[in-house]
Chain A
Amino acid sequence: MRSVVSILDLSTSEINELMNVADDIERNPEFYRSKCKHKILATIFYEPSTRTRLSFESAMLSLGGSVISTPDSKISSAAKGESISDTVRVISNYADIIVMRHPKEGAPVVAAMKATVPLINAGDGGHFHPTQTLADILTIRRTKKTLSGLTIGLCGDLMFGRTVHSLIEAMLRYPDNKYIMISPNELKLPEYMREALDKAGVSWRETESLETAMPELDVLYMTRVQKERFFNEEDYVRLKDVYILDRDKLKTAKSDLAILHPLPRVNEISVAVDDDPRAQYFYQTLCGKQMRMALIMLLLGII
């Protein structure tokens, strides 16, 4: 059964096709209104993520399908100790497609092995969250009208930020992009990602300064610098403001910069930036919903 656990489960041509379908949904939503009629999507969330769950449910409803769902917080059978394998086998009998979020890394791999219907990973701990990446790259393609020849700045926690790693892996499939990794020294890109960049032979560099990188950027992908990642309060206080995007830091930016953020935001982007036409992080969530619609249809064999 075809499932999507990681962005690597989708070929480049499939990702391109999903983006084309998402664009068509944008132009012509009526055409898709009944595509999933009589189909049921189950969302099983072993940890709360209201936004992700609602995005999938809204996607399915916009396709004319139905949704069954567990309460966000605790799955009752999980509390009784039922294995993921058993849960997924049972729910495969109730739904045509399953969306799962689980705090344990690799849980969707186990689930996908046992499910008899397609399964989408909606996030497993710090591991993968492929539909976030699909949202990110559609946002880039729509705002920049291309996925190549761009200078992409990734800013914040590049060590633990899974969305960053996954976005890099996806963008490496498109030629001639240049990457600037903007982070405190403590939160630099992990070794295996550095190797992937070197192996791909792309141009990339690292800097601690968002300000010096800013004028070059076509895309700025912001992530949060979390307090728990630092060994001491001093470093955190010293660094946190450096990675907060405000109007002042945007002064030297290109007029057609696209600012992305996987959300939720805490304070890493000043609210004053929201009204700047370069801010695309709320639009990003619409792109996410449309990519989820396209992915659901792909896995159900409708497109």
Chain B
Amino acid sequence: MTDYEAVIGLEIHAQLKTESKLFCGCDASYGAEPNANACPVCLGHPGALPVLNERAVEFAALLGMAIESRVNPVSIFARKNYFYPDLPKGYQISQFDKPICTGGRIALTRADGVAREIGVTRAHMEEDAGKSIHDRSDATLVDVNRCGVPLIEIVSEPDLRTAEEARLYVEKIRQIVRYLRICDGNMEEGSLRCDANVSVRPQGETELGVKTEIKNMNSFKSVERAVEFEIERQIDLIEDGGEVTQQTLLWDADRNVAVPMRGKESAHDYRYFPEPDLPPVALSEERLAEIRTRLPELPDAKRERFVSDYGLPDYDADVLSQSRDVAEYFERVANASGDAKAASNWTMGEVAREIRERKIEIAEFLLSPERLAEIIALVKDNVVSATAAKEVFVAALEEDKSPKTIVEERNLGQISDASELDEMIDQILKEHTVAVEEYLAGKEKAIGFLVGQAMRLSRGKANPQLLNKSLRQKLESMK
């Protein structure tokens, strides 16, 4: 039996989060009424001309810098010619032989701990096409809102070897574009799209096998499953004495199968040529340097710094660095409170839970890092117990009040006053003579029960350390 190796290359399209479209002033945001965002330029009216959105160029350059591409001082737009109803001009303005970014690399770590470095061939700017809506029986409708929305297409080298690596690669790209705040990375809404080229070959073979292209993978899980499906399909085909034919497949996530795309299998000749309506895109050294100042710390660097500067465990650093917003939230809490581990626990625990339950992003989370740091300080200073702190947290979030005010209003302050504690202890010792006897008889564990009772009596407000200490002293003195 032959061992096979899969060779996978990915093309990722990321919608750049600019306010306006790539070549006109129309709103580029998602979700407007069909055909609300349209003008003579994006409708391809006779005589209309494209004007480049400089913001999109900066976003593309930022991406290039983040993935260690060479950001070219001159790049050229080209026309990709083909007919389709959702392509108003009959060509897509893209980049061809002179893209804005050349080369680059993406580092991955597989679940088995193996580190991989995946080459990036290029990244180029292009405009999105519109959307064809086929769900009516009598007609196909076209929504042009998406026409002209800026995209960056990132093309990987055929360096990926497993379906897991393919998924990790897409996840990493998404993480980076979100860190750069140039794309919201939503695969379901299509702001991040991925096509995979897959071929297999016997282990040790250097020639590439015949590849197929898989489209329509709308989630990370789909990427992994679709690639896995296609690798197995191709191996089975070859094992059965067949041959792989070059074709385009569509992933059907409901049925977990990739099916050949209908029709148009004839190889397209896109007749690329330089776009005469747009001058070459020139990026001066000064401009590139200016853009570079906007490059944020990237996830890998952040993770390492969280370990080295804050002494966080690897696990915490990894979780917190997944999202730039979360990482920045954590860091503000850590700096304001001076307690990184507590900041980490709160961010990964209560904060993450609230965000999950409210189905919001951390950017929309209303409790400021400074207030959370105050809560951490209240616990540290024994003003409130850990349990009460959670109540303060929820109240601060819902009532938009300072944690101190909440502690006062709700009387959540910890009882650290010795005479008050003594009074309670006396009462407990009187009420629970059996447990006292047990303790005095040498059953140390009985103290736990007594502490619990005292805590209940204080409605959770007794300072646990002081309570423990006083109770033990009292019991010892009774021996």
Q: Do A and B come from one complex?
A: no
Taking Cβ atoms with an 8 Å cutoff, the residues of A that contact B are none
Taking Cβ atoms with an 8 Å cutoff, the residues of B that contact A are none
